[in-house]
Amino acid sequence: MTSPHAPTPPPAPLPDDDDARRAAALRAELVYHQHRYYTLDDPEISDAEYDRRYRELSALEARRPDLLSPDSPTARVGGVPLQAFTPYRHRRPMLSLENALAREEMTAWQERLERALGGLAGVSYVCEPKFDGLAIELVYEGGRLTVAATRGDGEVGDDVTANVRTIRDVPLALFAGADPVPPYLSVRGEVYIRTDDFRRINEQQLAQGGKIFANPRNLASGTLKQLDPREVAARPLRLVVHSTGDVEGVAHRTHTEFLAWAGRLGLPIAERNRACADLAAVMEYYDRTLAERHALPYEIDGVVVKVDALSVREEAGFTSNHPRWAIAWKFPPVEEVTRVLEVAVQVGRDGKLTPVARLEPVRVGGVTVSSVTLHNFDQVAKKDVQIGDYVVVHRAGDVIPEIVSTVLSRRGAEVRPVVPPTACPDCGHAVAREEGLVDYFCPNVACPAQVKGHLLHFAKRDALCIDHLGEKLVDQLVATGLVKDPADLYALTAEGLAGLERMAEKSARNLIESIARSKATETARLLYGLGIRHVGEALAGGLARHFGTLEAVAGATLEQLQECPDVGPEVAGSLRRFFDDPGNRAVLERLRAAGVVCAPPAAPPAAGGRLAGKTFVFTGELTGMTRAAAKKSAESEGARVTDSVSKATDYVVAGEAAGAKLEKAKKLGVAVLTEAEFRGLLGGT
Ligand code: IVH
């Protein structure tokens, strides 16, 4: 979201002593930086710097409660959950818009407008994205946010002020700059959630066995209707303002003027809003927006076209339900109904069984969807999906397609229930389910599906880095029995590979060379490549540094393992189980015999490194360097790199599409660095 002008921080309350002056200055700064971060998407300072100021203000307010102010950025979350929401009557009803679905309906709308006005002289439009969120009204009295209410039935909504105060891009006080703050202002907008945040939250919900939200709108509205503002504060809701309710003391001539003014007061305004001189320009805007909708960071379901001049709006007036001067031109739906042909069960590297619905192919939001994951069997039961059912498939933006619901009214007699398998679909081994967990597992480590997963993991760039070993080839190697475990890779010969279907001599040679190169590896890479449960890349690095060799890790007792940083009882147990298994020991022995050797880990970093004593977590995709290189650089400056975020983490370096770890960092107040900031810490390397 951007507004056209940078805001001026709000006026400081009258200072009467040093603390009061400092509190006012910190508040003004924090409000300014919050606006740059959340509303303009253009932060000027790092999160760490912001946090420092925030903590200073919190400490100051704790020491001097007389300085507390309801507008303070520290006062976004009130303490007490509500019993119920209080009804709130809107000063003016919140109307809805007429919808158009096709071009001709837009022409017909303009014709009706022309008739109502007696011509189209002086008519120009503003086009805006139609946000797929929850309608909200905000009331500012004397420049302070006093009420936020949902639309309800249009006349009376719910007072959700405590919840809306937690939304970071909602100014608690309007910015006073060149424009005087109006004595009374109500504005309308949408509360929404960005698609990346939506996906991340659903991933977390899934991991924790919580509710999966069907779409960002449901998540936003479900969140805003929570009675406990602390729950709302934990979810990254956002606001966009698109209309006036009532303005006192200021008269605008056009909607464009209003939007620019609201932006200067600190309210978030959509950056895609455009003035359009005529209907042809409106149509161009629609086509462009439709084409680009999936690249937007939020969901929209159409565009809203509004007459710009307020005098013309007044003349055009209202029908019983809608203004005549605006219309919502909806996009074709990104939800389609299709049929579940089959539900297959996929076996993961760790043996986890995931139900996947095979669908009658259907185009949703410009992409053909023929299969969707159902995540787990609890989800299948919750959504009541049966084989042969018609289901609503949704896809939004870059959100992975998924089944929203089952069309029960179309369920035929021929449907078959989805039954969790009792035997692994790949190897036939009896299926297990751990007490209290939602997932079913195939416990057979020799299961071909798991073997394939293990081999692909072993060959990963950050593990043994074996090029030319793709999925298809692994399928063949496992199917022909040439490879049953990672150690078998080292026994492969070009002649042996030549027998495989469609295997060119050159490809065979490339693969053999690549496998040979991988023999000279590092302890951390091999530890990671073995695919031991709970042992991610960073933890493998930590183990390697602590123990030096694979043999030392393999020989360590549960207690000794837990002496290594970040190894708790669960990880230690997993390591012990792995190394105690005779099959795994045999594989390790054969790897050694094949000549796989691990270089000792790099010498411990100098105690005086730039990042000495700091703990880092890397998440998301880095663009300027590989994750392994970033890790190495941090470690060479004395930092400790771990896999999971906790209070003990000093920095989370978030790359693109960072997910749950970033969310957790924000929740715990851990400083988050961009890749560029991280480079800065390294001294610009
Ligand atoms: S203008 C008088 N502009 O769409 C109506 N509405 O039925 C003023 N919406 O729930 C609404 N984006 O909250 C307007 N750019 C936008 C919008 C927008 C989403 C929502 C609105 C209402 C529905 C219209």
Task: Give the pLDDT confidence of 67-92 residue by residue, as tens digits.
Answer: 888 888 888 886 677 888 899 999 99
250-259, 332-341, 668-677, range with greatest mean pLDDT: 250-259
Mean pLDDT of 143-156: 93
Please report which helix (H) or strand (E) contains residue 136, including its range: strand 134-141
Q: Which residues pair with 189 in a beta bridge?
A: 136, 241
Pull the structure tokens for residue 624: 């300027």
**Which of ligand 1's atoms lies nearest the C-alpha of 136?**
13
Categorize the per-residue pLDDT at 43 as very low, low, confident or very high, splitting at 50, 70 and 90: confident
Instruction: Specify whether the backbone of 372 is left (phi greater than 0), alpha (psi in -120 to 50) or beta.
Output: beta
Q: Is the pLDDT of residue 392 over 80?
A: yes
| Atom 13, ligand 1: residue with shortest CA distance | 135
130 classed as catalytic: yes
Say if CB 391 and CB 339 are below 8 A apart.
yes
Type of residue numbered 338: T
Q: Does domain 18-77 have CATH number 1.10.150.120?
A: no
| Atom 3, ligand 1: residue with shortest CA distance | 242
Please, what is the Cα angle at 151 between 148 and 153, to 5 degrees? 140
pLDDT tens string 543-563: 998 999 999 999 999 999 999
Categorize the per-residue pLDDT at 5 as very low, low, confident or very high, splitting at 50, 70 and 90: very low
Report the separation in Å between the CA atom of 267 and the middle of ligand 1, taken as the mean of its atom positions: 16
Q: What is the DSSP letter of 431?
A: P
Report the SS3 class of residue 567: coil
Report the separation in Å between the CA atom of 96 and the middle of ligand 1, taken as the mean of its atom positions: 7
Query: Which one, of 206, 453, 195, 144, lies nearest residue 334 by Cα?
Result: 195
Q: Is the pLDDT of residue 645 over 80?
A: yes
Check residue 191 and give its pLDDT.
97
Type of residue numbered 489: L
Q: What is the pTM of this model?
A: 0.57
Query: Which one, of 127, 134, 179, lies nearest residue 152 by Cα?
Result: 134
**Which of ligand 1's atoms lies nearest the C-alpha of 129?**
15
Q: Taking each helix axis as running N to C, give the angle between helix 582-593 and helix 569-580, from 0 to 180 degrees, rounded to the nearest 10.
A: 70
74-78, 143-147, 497-501, 625-629, range with greatest mean pLDDT: 143-147
Q: Is the pLDDT of residue 673 over 90?
A: no
Check residue 656 and give its pLDDT.
79
Check residue 2 and give its pLDDT.
44
- Cα separation, 459 vs 135, in Å, equals 50
> Picking from 222-226, 466-470, 666-670, which range would have the lowest pLDDT averaged per residue?
666-670
Check residue 626 and give its pLDDT.
80
Q: Is the pLDDT of residue 606 over 80?
A: no
Check residue 433 and give its pLDDT.
86
In a mutational test of the pocket of ligand 1, which residue from 91, 97, 126, 322 has the highest number of ligand atoms less than 8 Å from its CB? 97
Q: Is the pLDDT of residue 595 over 80?
A: yes
pLDDT tens string 443-456: 887 899 999 999 99
**Which of ligand 1's atoms lies nearest the C-alpha of 96?**
7
**Structural domain 448-599, CATH architecture:** Orthogonal Bundle (1.10)
Report the separation in Å between the CA atom of 94 and the middle of ligand 1, taken as the mean of its atom positions: 9
Pull the structure tokens for residue 673: 């660095």
Report the separation in Å between the CA atom of 259 and the middle of ligand 1, taken as the mean of its atom positions: 14
Mean pLDDT of 162-179: 91
Categorize the per-residue pLDDT at 1 as very low, low, confident or very high, splitting at 50, 70 and 90: low
Check residue 610 and give its pLDDT.
79
Q: What is the DSSP letter of 530?
A: T
Say if CB 35 and CB 169 are below 8 A apart.
yes
**Which of ligand 1's atoms lies nearest the C-alpha of 243?**
1
Which residues, judged by CB distance below 6 Å to any ligand atom, belong to the binding site of ligand 1? Answer: 95-97, 128, 130-131, 135, 190, 242-243, 304, 323, 326, 328
- Cα separation, 263 vs 245, in Å, equals 16
- Which residues, at least 6 apart from 329, have a Cβ–Cβ distance to it below 8 Å? 99, 100, 101, 105, 106, 130, 282, 286, 302, 303, 304, 305
DSSP string, 373-389: E--SHHHHHHHT-EET-
Q: Is the pLDDT of residue 632 over 70?
A: yes
Between 660 and 307, residue with greater pLDDT? 307
Q: Is the pLDDT of residue 420 over 80?
A: yes
How far from the centroid of its chain's Cα atoms is residue 164's Cα? 21
Check residue 79 and give its pLDDT.
61
Q: What's the CATH class of domain 88-330? A: alpha beta
Categorize the per-residue pLDDT at 503 as very low, low, confident or very high, splitting at 50, 70 and 90: confident
In a mutational test of the pocket of ligand 1, which residue from 132, 299, 304 has the highest number of ligand atoms less than 8 Å from its CB? 304
Check residue 6 and give its pLDDT.
45
Mean pLDDT of 484-493: 95
Please, what is the Cα angle at 169 between 398 and 270, to 5 degrees? 60
In a mutational test of the pocket of ligand 1, which residue from 98, 125, 131 has the highest number of ligand atoms less than 8 Å from its CB? 131
Check residue 12 and give its pLDDT.
52
List the chain domain ranges. 18-77, 88-330, 333-441, 448-599, 615-681
**Which of ligand 1's atoms lies nearest the C-alpha of 273?**
15
Pull the structure tokens for residue 270: 């959509």
Check residue 345 and give its pLDDT.
96
Check residue 3 and give its pLDDT.
42
- Cα separation, 553 vs 549, in Å, equals 7
Please report, rounded to a whole number, the percentage of residues in the chain having pLDDT higher than 70: 95
In a mutational test of the pocket of ligand 1, which residue from 190, 313, 329, 331 has the highest number of ligand atoms less than 8 Å from its CB? 190
Please report which helix (H) or strand (E) contains residue 508, including its range: helix 505-517
- Cα separation, 553 vs 561, in Å, equals 7
**Structural domain 615-681, CATH architecture:** 3-Layer(aba) Sandwich (3.40)
Mean pLDDT (the chain) is 89
| Atom 4, ligand 1: residue with shortest CA distance | 130
What CATH number does the domain located at 333-441 have? Answer: 2.40.50.140
Report the separation in Å between the CA atom of 181 and the middle of ligand 1, taken as the mean of its atom positions: 25
Categorize the per-residue pLDDT at 366 as very low, low, confident or very high, splitting at 50, 70 and 90: low
Please count the other Cβ atoms lying within 10 Å of the Cβ belonging to residue 210. 11
Report the separation in Å between the CA atom of 349 and the middle of ligand 1, taken as the mean of its atom positions: 47
